Amino acid sequence: MIIKSITLINFRNHSHYQMECKDEVSLILGPNGWGKTSILEAIYILTRGKSFRATDRDIIKRGTEFYRIELTYTNGTTTAATYDGKSKTFTITDQKSKRLPIKHKYPLILFTPSDLNLISHSPGRRRDYFDHIYSQLDEQYNSSLSKYNKAIKQRNELLKSEQVTKDSLFSWNLLLAKYGSLLCQKRQEYTTEINSRLTPTYRSIAKNEDEVELNYSTEVKTPTESAYLKTLEQNTERDIYLGHTTFGIHRDDYLISFNHQSADATASRGENRSIILALKFIEANLIEENLGQKPIILLDDVFSELDETRRRCLVENFKDNQVIITSVESI
């Protein structure tokens, strides 16, 4: 799928904006604060179903009552989303839906400056990063993650209430055990696959013999529903005392090593950037292999963060994809 045009109305600081996209590379130029990232955000909503940085209420242009965004593909398909201050409606060629249908979702690679700091970010940021990758590859993973997050939120709210009892937690324990064990297994599988490609991909960028390794760190030792449920129940008194769920995949982390040591402690700034580039290239390859689609590449002001060698590598790797770039200066 190739994007032909994007239209924004009352979206962020854009009253009305329309952009015609090129089949290969489109460049959005403008100063900081102009709203370049908002254009990528609109594309993200219309291809993935939700924003990558805010709720709909936060997106409406101040002083207006609705926003509308529209995406037209070169094959003639049009996808639009309208938010009226209460609910969002997607319209795909006259068919309306409260959610973007799975068959109309399209894979994206979103690359932001914050991604370049992934190795030193918090465990939660790394979980979100890899959850995004795995959710695009596997709709079951995406659905299970959503259900797990809702269940953990409800369980934590109950743990903070005066009505909490062991019995009242049981139904939430069952849901967390069901989806948590499944997600743990899938995280192990996908992380193993990424790790098998990481060093060769990194070496193709860095042109050396360094070794890079990605490890999935979890306290879930046996990823079965029964074992997961047992540990949750063993931690019940502690959870009630602390007011939150102290065991589960929501506490997982991803550890990256460089030449058998922590990359955060030993890799240089340039080496860290090469590792992140390698992860992005692997993500694109996995999407194409698993979904049979070339992802659209959204590069949000990352060129200024890369040296000339890594810029060329980025362009060369994504030469066959549609790429939309934001920048404060010509590239």
Tell me the pLDDT tens digit for each residue of 119-129: 999 999 999 99
Claim to verify: residue 37 and residue 180 sit in the same structural domain: no
Number of domains, the chain: 2
Query: Of the candidates 44, 71, 106, which is a domain's last residue?
Result: 106
Claim to verify: residue 163 and residue 235 sit in the same structural domain: yes
Tell me the pLDDT tens digit for each residue of 258-280: 999 999 999 999 999 999 999 99
Residue at 77 is within a domain: yes
For 191-199, what is the mean pLDDT? Answer: 98
In the predicted model, is pLDDT for residue 94 greater than 90? no
Claim to verify: residue 68 and residue 168 sit in the same structural domain: no
Residue at 13 is within a domain: yes
Query: Of the candidates 54, 73, 106, which is a domain's last residue?
Result: 106
Claim to verify: residue 102 and residue 129 sit in the same structural domain: no
Domain ranges, residue 52: 3-106
Claim to verify: residue 21 and residue 159 sit in the same structural domain: no
Claim to verify: residue 208 and residue 86 sit in the same structural domain: no
Percent above pLDDT 90 for the chain: 94
In the predicted model, is pLDDT for residue 331 greater than 90? no
Residue 1's pLDDT is what?
Answer: 85
Tell me the pLDDT tens digit for each residue of 221-266: 999 999 999 999 999 999 999 999 999 999 999 999 999 999 999 9
Q: What is the 3-state secondary structure (H, E, C) of the chain?
A: CCEEEEEEEEECCEEEEEEECCCCEEEEECCCCCCHHHHHHHHHHHHHCCCCCCCHHHHECCCCCCEEEEEEECCCCEEEEEECCCCEEEEECCEEECCCCHHHCCCEEEECHHHHHHHHCCHHHHHHHHHHHHHHHCHHHHHHHHHHHHHHHHHHHHHCCCCCCHHHHHHHHHHHHHHHHHHHHHHHHHHHHHHHHHHHHHHHHHCCCCCEEEEEECCCCCCCHHHHHHHHHHCHHHHHHHCCCCCCHHHCEEEEEECCEEHHHHCCHHHHHHHHHHHHHHHHHHHHHHHCCCCEEEEECCHHHCCHHHHHHHHHHCCCCCEEEEECCCC
For 191-211, what is the mean pLDDT? Answer: 97
Claim to verify: residue 189 and residue 48 sit in the same structural domain: no
Tell me the pLDDT tens digit for each residue of 278-318: 999 999 999 999 999 999 999 999 988 899 999 999 999 99
Instruction: Identify the band that residue 62 occupies on the pLDDT scale cut at 50, 70 and 90.
Output: very high
Residue at 324 is within a domain: no
Claim to verify: residue 128 and residue 269 sit in the same structural domain: yes
Residue at 321 is within a domain: no
CATH of the domain at 66: 3.40.50.300
